[in-house]
């Protein structure tokens, strides 16, 4: 599966003003730096938790349906939390996208990773590479406050850590600061092997 971000979050779970208040900064001199640190902290914690914090749209590209999908009639969605499915397109032999009718599958929203349940076996793609496209919407919600408060606090803790330890060589490759990891850990989705 190849994931592609279609629509990035319209806002961050933590505002610039919240970060400045957390750091007790009044000046606007470091606003661009703080804005970049907020985005970096969100991305880092999204990677750590394997969850997407605010609404964003993604496209999954598959060469073919996984064997278990054809056997069981379901396809696991690796994005969490799963909000909705926008479209499923399967490319035919003429390289034309055929959009599957929504009546042929079910994809219920969930606070965790979702799944697509097919009514019948989905059609096989007619091209060998990227023959299937699945567009979906993920994230806790459209508003910053939809992101659980511990994750918002983890972002602030990570921004503060990076702000206070700029250019420190000894920090390279270090795990998350203890407070950020502790706040985010209950939300972490473990990887199954």
Give the three-state DSSP class for 82: strand
The domains found in the chain, sorted by start residue, are 13-53+143-187 (1.10.3230), 57-138 (no CATH)
Mark 4-22 as b/e (b = at least 16 C-beta within 10 Å). Answer: eeeeebeebbbebebbbeb
Q: And the tokens for 59?
A: 């496209």
> Nearest to residue 90, comparing CAs of 98, 102, 80?
98
* 3-class SS of residue 110: strand
This prediction's pTM: 0.87
pLDDT in tens, the chain (193 residues): 889 999 999 999 999 999 999 999 999 999 999 999 999 999 999 999 999 999 999 999 999 999 887 778 899 998 999 999 999 999 999 999 999 999 999 998 888 888 999 998 899 999 989 999 999 999 999 999 999 999 999 999 999 999 998 876 555 556 799 999 999 999 998 865 4
CB within 8 A of 7, min separation 6: which ones? 56, 57
> Which residue in 190, 45, 49, 62 sits closest to 124, CA to CA?
62
């Amino acid at each position: 599966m190849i994931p592609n971000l279609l629509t990035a979050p319209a806002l961050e779970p933590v505002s610039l003003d919240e970060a400045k208040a957390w750091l007790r900064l009044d000046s606007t001199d470091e606003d661009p730096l703080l804005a970049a640190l907020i985005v970096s902290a969100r991305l880092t914690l999204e990677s750590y938790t394997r969850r997407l914090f605010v609404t964003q749209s993604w496209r999954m590209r598959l060469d073919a349906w996984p064997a278990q999908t054809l056997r069981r009639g379901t396809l696991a969605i690796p994005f969490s939390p799963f909000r909705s499915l926008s479209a499923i397109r399967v490319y035919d032999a003429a390289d034309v996208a055929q959009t599957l009718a929504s009546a042929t599958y079910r994809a219920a929203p969930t606070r965790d990773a979702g799944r697509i349940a097919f009514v019948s076996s989905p059609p096989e793609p007619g091209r060998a590479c990227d023959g299937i496209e699945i567009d979906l919407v993920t994230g806790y919600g459209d508003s910053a406050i939809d992101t659980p408060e511990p994750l918002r606090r983890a972002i602030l803790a990570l921004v503060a850590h990076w702000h206070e330890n700029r250019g420190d060589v000894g920090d390279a490759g270090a795990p998350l600061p203890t407070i950020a990891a502790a706040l985010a850990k209950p939300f972490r989705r473990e990887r199954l092997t």
